[in-house]
Amino acid sequence: MSDIAIKVEGLSKQYRLGEVGTGTISHDLNRWWARVRGKEDPFLKLGEANDRTTAANSDYVWALRDINFEVKQGEVLGIIGRNGAGKSTLLKILSKTTTPTTGAIKVKGRIASLLEVGTGFHPEMTGRENIFLNGAILGMTRKEIRSKFDEIVDFAGVERYVDTPVKRYSSGMYVRLAFAVAAHLEPEILVVDEVLAVGDAEFQKKCLGKMKDVSVNDGRTVLFVSHNMEAIKNLCDNALLLSNGGLIYDGLTASVLVKYLELQEKEKHDKLNGTIIQRSEILKTDLEIVYNETSLYSDFDIRATMTFQNSEELENCYVNFVVEDDQQNYLIHHRSDFALENNPFFSIGRHMVNLIIPNVNLKAGVYRYWFRLFCKKELDDVLIDSEKISFEIKGKIFGGIINGKSYWEIK
């Protein structure tokens, strides 16, 4: 483990819903009796995956299940996943604020954690006193802390309030000082949760720069949880993707982010189509960009086509066409209105939808488009959702708004 800062093997964390700890003395006695006889904990056989979207069938849930990974010294590791995936639980276990149910963790060096607003701070103590308290917890001498004191206060920007009890700080001031303390008191491992989202944009940028600096220049290890994919991509060497308490993918950050987007699309598609009998199939989609060569801007027309096949007659249908950027922001969203009597769109067989959007004005870059086919009954009923397809806008760098009105045609 010479160059390994953190090694996690078979890590799992089980909770009992609605209870603190195991909940009853009888459960604790059963666990103890199993250990005495050298048997497996009987309650480890119970429990479900941590899927918050489904109703529970058991009193036990696995917040984490069989997690294995290594982090090298000086590495910046991103941890991503939707809310409830187990990210914060993992960081709490690594920070020793809670214990694992099973598994082993080997850590080389001191850990400084920033898990939530006010972590490690005593509200009645001043900012100055909390700086020295946190340094003492990390095992630093008073002289070592004093040598870093001015740097910490300057980075946090709280010099005027450093002798004020932190209970009077705003959440932003709390986070600024907490991060400054954690980053400057020279822990070998820095653990940062999504808490930086509380700070303003300028301070977030400052924090990301500091995390990169302590990794590259000081050789310290950083674990960073965030829902900001751009920050993860720019800061982290490698990443972990958690879902429902399990580690489903790890590797280089770029490949993990691709897997995360694929997982989001799959979950969205499953949610939309989970209870639906498919009555139509999208066979093909196509998109053509026609540039206006005389414009100073990247003006162009979009001509999009969708071909689909109905296996039965459909009623009250419409089509959505969407274009989004690499941050999943909707830039173009057009909806058809085909709910007309005796419309051939509803008949059995193959049909084609053409969409023309003139005078579109987007800057150069890579975008994605897709069609969705809906059939409206008591509620909007998604019949089919096509995959997202990438396309590139080339040439001029200027971008603006969409000026044209869309024209739909069905055949």
For the chain, the structural domain boundaries read: 4-109+188-266, 276-410
**314-353 burial, b for 16+ CB within 10 Å, e for fewer?**
beebbbebbbbeeeeeeebebebebeeeeeebbeeeebeb
What span, in angstroms and rounded, lies between the C-alpha atoms of 61 and 82? Answer: 17
Closest CA to 271 of 116, 82, 25: 82
Give the phi and the psi of residue 379 in degrees, each rounded to 5: -130, 165
H or E segment at 94? helix 87-94
The answer to whether residues 289 and 391 touch, using CB atoms and an 8 Å cutoff, is: yes
The answer to whether residues 314 and 375 touch, using CB atoms and an 8 Å cutoff, is: yes
Closest CA to 282 of 404, 372, 360, 221: 372
DSSP assignments along 277-321, one per residue: ---EEEEEEEEEEEE-TT-SS-EEEEEEEEEEEESS---SEEEEE
Taking CB atoms within 8 Å and a gap of at least 24, the contacts of 255-260 are 256/78, 256/80, 257/80, 257/229, 257/232, 257/233, 260/80, 260/81, 260/229
Under DSSP, is residue 390 helix (H, G, I), strand (E, B) or coil? strand
Number of H helices, E strands in the chain: 8, 19
At 214 the pLDDT is 85
Cα–chain-centroid distance for residue 26? 39
**Residues whose CB is less than 8 angstroms from the CB of residue 168 and which lie 6 or more positions away in sequence, other chains included:** 161
What span, in angstroms and rounded, lies between the C-alpha atoms of 228 and 22? Answer: 35
Under DSSP, is residue 150 helix (H, G, I), strand (E, B) or coil? helix
Residue identified by tokens 């720019």 is: 234
Q: What is the pTM of this model?
A: 0.60
In order of 15, 51, 87, 153, the CA distances from 54 in angstroms are 16, 6, 19, 46
Specify the amino acid at residue 148.
K
Specify the amino acid at residue 202.
E
Q: Which CATH fold topology does 4-109+188-266 show?
A: Rossmann fold (3.40.50)
CATH number of 276-410: 2.70.50.60
What span, in angstroms and rounded, lies between the C-alpha atoms of 103 and 13? Answer: 9
What span, in angstroms and rounded, lies between the C-alpha atoms of 125 and 120? Answer: 11
Per-residue pLDDT of the chain (411 residues; tens, 9 = 90+): 468 999 999 998 887 765 555 556 666 676 667 677 777 665 555 544 555 545 445 567 788 889 999 999 999 999 998 888 888 889 889 888 888 888 889 998 888 887 766 667 888 999 999 999 888 877 778 888 899 899 999 988 888 999 999 889 887 888 888 888 888 877 888 888 876 666 677 777 888 888 888 888 888 899 998 887 878 888 888 999 998 889 998 989 888 888 887 777 666 655 555 444 567 778 888 888 887 665 555 567 888 998 888 887 777 777 888 888 776 777 888 877 665 555 667 788 888 888 888 877 777 777 888 888 877 655 555 666 677 888 877 765 444 444 456 667 777
Closest CA to 307 of 284, 289, 281, 287: 284
Q: Is the dihedral of CA 32, 34, 40, 43 positive or negative?
A: negative
**Residues whose CB is less than 8 angstroms from the CB of residue 372 and which lie 6 or more positions away in sequence, other chains included:** 319, 320, 322, 382, 384, 385, 386
At 397 the pLDDT is 46
